[in-house]
Every structure is written in C-alpha cells, then in structure tokens.
Structure 1
Amino acid sequence: MFKNVIVRVPSATISEGITSAHEGKPIYTKALMQHENYVSALTKTGVNVTVLEPHDEFPDSCFVEDVALCTSKCAIITRPGALSRRKEAALPDMLEALKGFYEHIEYIKDPGTVEAGDIMMVGDHFYIGLSARTNQAGADQMISILEKYGLSGQVVPLKKVLHLKTGLAYLENNNLLVAGEFKDDPEFAKFNKIEIDEDEAYGANCIWVNGYVLVPAGYPKVQKKIEDLGYKVLVVDTSEFRKIDGGLSCLSLRF
C-alpha cells in the first residue's frame, strides 16, 4: 500500500521539454488542467499528495519520478542521464520533501546516471533498465544501495524504448502489463503477462495505487484488459504530457 505521493506542478516552459514524439508542443493551460485531474485521481486512492511548486528553468521537472527512487527503506536521489535534467535532482524543495518522509537518503554519483523511469519495483526487488538515460555504472550503484538496505535489483537491457516503464507496468498480484520488446523477454516469464497491442503501446504506462489502476485516456483495449482483471480503474488524460515523452508514472513519486 502507498501512503504518500509527491508531484510537481508543470512549469510555464513545459512546451520546451525534451521530446522524441511528433505530436506538437504541449499546451500549458491544458497540461495544468490534466495535472490537476491526475492529482484528483490519486487522492481517490487514499494517498496524501505533496504538491511542489513549478520550476520554469526546468521544462521537464513535472516528471518527478526520474529524480528519485522511493523504496520502503530509503530514498535514492538519482543523477539523470539527460543533461538538461541533471540539476532537477538537486532541487532543494524535493530534497526537503523527501527528508520529511525518509530518515535515509542516498545519492547516485558520477559517472553513474540513473533516471527512475527506468526502475520498476516488484515488492522488494527492482528491475533497472539500461537505457540512453541509465548507464551500467548508475545501475551498479543503485543495486549496491538497494542491497545495503536488504533490497535487491537486476539490470534489463533496453533496445528501443526510452525508459523501462515506457513498456512495462507492474499491477501487483503478479500481473504485469507488457508492450513491444518486453513481450518475449525471458526476464518476465514468471509474471502473468497482459500483452498490450502495438496501436495502444503508450497505454502500457499505467500505475497501481492501493487497488486502483490509473490508466491513460484513449486506450480502451488496455482499460478493458485491466478491468477484466478486477481492478478499479481511474482514467486520466495525459495527452499533453505524451507530447514530451511523459506518461502516468513519470508524474509522481509513490511510496
């Protein structure tokens, strides 16, 4: 069960965020509205939401998931692989917020790079994607820190997707949404895999929160598959964030 969530309000500069999508630039006012609806959906799951102020100098800073990994034992401040995002991990308000919840805070150091969008938590075990944003040195440091606290981790090489959780979502109870390159990955053979069709691949980025699953709007096949598993579904529009390579999980830290 999750008790707490941290989010950051999108900045007025969100249209300058990093993107590989070809969907146009996000509209700031629309992104704000979608973010408010996202927070509203989270509160329905019974969590306490801490809302941090926007940072206009960091267009991608609403994607708070990448700058920290929140575990049951400690918080780990990452070192983003994207240069334009590296200073986000050192923003004082995020550090203060995490210190309010955690006694133990660890840090990924140079030459390691990690973005926690590459990390999927399954109980006390963490799958860490090796990507353009998360390197072997960063993954090694992350696993070493996890093991220090009695947790564990393993690396998963990525071939195409930006982040590990672009194509995977763990919904508890051994249920795993899988899209694209992960469908046949032997690392995930033990899970009950719910395969996502190519035309709805973006919809694979869902989040489980206390028995609810937040699902992006516009992916009816994904939604039905999750409902068929018996979960309570909350549909949230993230279309403005998709324009800068963001999804549901990217927008919050959940612990």
Structure 2
Amino acid sequence: MFKNVIVRKPSKTLCEGITSAPELGKPDYNLAIEQHKLYVEALKKCGVNIIELEALEEFPDSCFVEDTAVLTKKCAIVANPGISSRNKESLYIIDTLKKFYPKENIEYIKSPGTLEGGDVMMVGNHFYVGKSARTNKEGITQFISILEKYGLTGSEIALEEVLHLKTGINYIENNNMLVSGEFINKKEFERYNKIIIPQSESYAANCIYVNNTVIVPLGYPKVKESIENLGYNVICVDTSEFRKIDGGLSCLSLRF
C-alpha cells in the first residue's frame, strides 16, 4: 500500500520542456495546471497523503518529479538526471525526502553515473532499470549496489526505442504488466501476465497502480477496458499537455 505521494506544480516555463514530438505543439500552461489538479484529485481518491511542492521556474520539466529519486520501503535513492537541463532538479527533492527517511537511508547516484526514476520499475523487492539515453551503465551499477545494501535486487534492461523504461512497460501488481512495443517479447518479462497495448494506444502503457486503483490516461479506451476486465478500479486523467513534453502519468509523482 502507498501512503504518500510527492508531486510538484508545473512551472510557467513548462512550454520550454524537452520534447521528441514537436508536432504536438507546446503545452498550454493554464490547461496543464488544471490537468495537474485533476491528477492530484485522482490520487487523493486512492487514499494517499499528497505532498505538493512548489514549481521550479528554472526547470521547465520539473513537474516530472519521478525522475529525481527512487523511493523504496527501506531507502530513498536520489537520482542524477542524464540531461544537462534537468541535472540539478534532484537537489530540490532532498529536503522533502528527509521528512520521511533517516539521513543515513538517503543514498545518491553520483557522476559519472546517471539515472532517472522513469527508467526504474519496482516489482515487489526487485527493480528493473532501463539503460537509456538518460540512465547509463555506471548509474545502474551504483543503483543496484545500493539496492543490495538494503536486501533488495535489481537488473538492467536494454532499451531500444523508448525514452524511459516506463514509457513502454508498467507493473500494476498481481503479476499483471502493461507492455507495448519492444517490451512485448522481451524474455525478462515472460513470467508475467502481459496486457499487450496496441500501437495506436502506446502512450497509455504508462499507467500507475495506487492502492487497488489504476490511473489511466484519458482517451485510450482499449487500455481502459483491458484493465477494467482484470477487476481493477480505473480512474482516467487527461495528460495531453504533459504528453507534449514527453511526460506521462508516472512521471508526475513519487509514490511510496
């Protein structure tokens, strides 16, 4: 069960965020704020305590707070984002983490290692880590070493197409895993019950499980139906403005 969720308000500089899909246009700040509020409301319905941090105007992508840390039951691991415009975002999450973790249980990924939370997928006590343009081999080595210090485990997953691991695959508990694209046939995930996401709805592979509810991006009916057929309560939230800067549902929060 998740007890707490950390989110960060979108900055007014949001429209300058990193994007691989300029054809979608720039985000509308006011609409993004409204969508973010509805996202927070959806999380509240899942019975969690929300910690909402103020916007960081210096960092257009800083609402994607997931990339700044990985939070486990035993420790917090402060990430080291692998792109220069986001590299210092992690510094602004540390004070908040100190409210929930003893100082000695806050660990750090150090340069030349890079790691972003969007590349980490937790399945019980095991953490899959995507080797991507943002998370490098050294970062993964450090991350797994930290996990093992606390009796947890991790393994590397090579990425070929997506920005982050959780862009294309997400675990929704009960052995159920949403998979799309390159992850459909990866041998590392053979033992899970795979819910295959059609290419036309691939963005919706990024759903989040929170206390028996799955939050799904609005506008992807096939994915919504597939998850409902598994018996989950589903809440749909519009994230269209965040999609324009390569963001999804999981990117917008740290759940622990």
- TM-score, scaled to structure 2: 0.98
Distance across 1 between alignment mates of 2:139 and 2:202: 27
Report what 2:200 is aligned to. 199
Work out whether 1:18 is the aligned partner of 2:18: yes
Distance across 1 between alignment mates of 2:100 and 2:234: 28
Distance across 1 between alignment mates of 2:109 and 2:136: 11
After superposition, the C-alpha distances for 1:55-75 in whole angstroms (9 at most, x for unaligned) are: 111000000000100001010
Report what 1:4 is aligned to. 4
Distance across 1 between alignment mates of 2:227 and 2:50: 24
The secondary structure found in structure 2 opposite 1:202 is helix
Q: CA deviation at 1:96?
A: 1.4
Give 5+ residue unaligned stretches, structure 2.
none
Q: CA deviation at 1:109?
A: 0.4
Correspondence 1:1-255 to 2 at 5 A: 1-21=1-21, 22-91=23-92, 94-103=93-102, 104-255=105-256
Aligned length: 253
After superposition, the C-alpha distances for 1:103-134 in whole angstroms (9 at most, x for unaligned) are: 11000001100001000000000000000000
Distance across 2 between alignment mates of 1:83 and 1:222: 34
Q: CA deviation at 1:97?
A: 1.1
The secondary structure found in structure 2 opposite 1:223 is helix
Distance across 1 between alignment mates of 2:211 and 2:227: 15
Q: CA deviation at 1:82?
A: 1.1
Paired letter, 2:97: L
The secondary structure found in structure 1 opposite 2:70 is strand
Distance across 2 between alignment mates of 1:145 and 1:216: 33
After superposition, the C-alpha distances for 1:155-175 in whole angstroms (9 at most, x for unaligned) are: 000000000000011000000
The secondary structure found in structure 2 opposite 1:57 is coil
Distance across 2 between alignment mates of 1:48 and 1:150: 27
Distance across 1 between alignment mates of 2:75 and 2:13: 32
CA-based RMSD of the aligned residues comes to 0.4
Distance across 2 between alignment mates of 1:218 and 1:36: 18
- TM-score, scaled to structure 1: 0.99
Distance across 2 between alignment mates of 1:183 and 1:46: 32
Distance across 1 between alignment mates of 2:222 and 2:108: 39
Give 5+ residue unaligned stretches, structure 1.
none
Paired letter, 1:186: K
Paired letter, 2:9: V
Distance across 2 between alignment mates of 1:197 and 1:115: 26
Paired letter, 1:49: I
Paired letter, 1:61: S
Distance across 2 between alignment mates of 1:125 and 1:63: 23
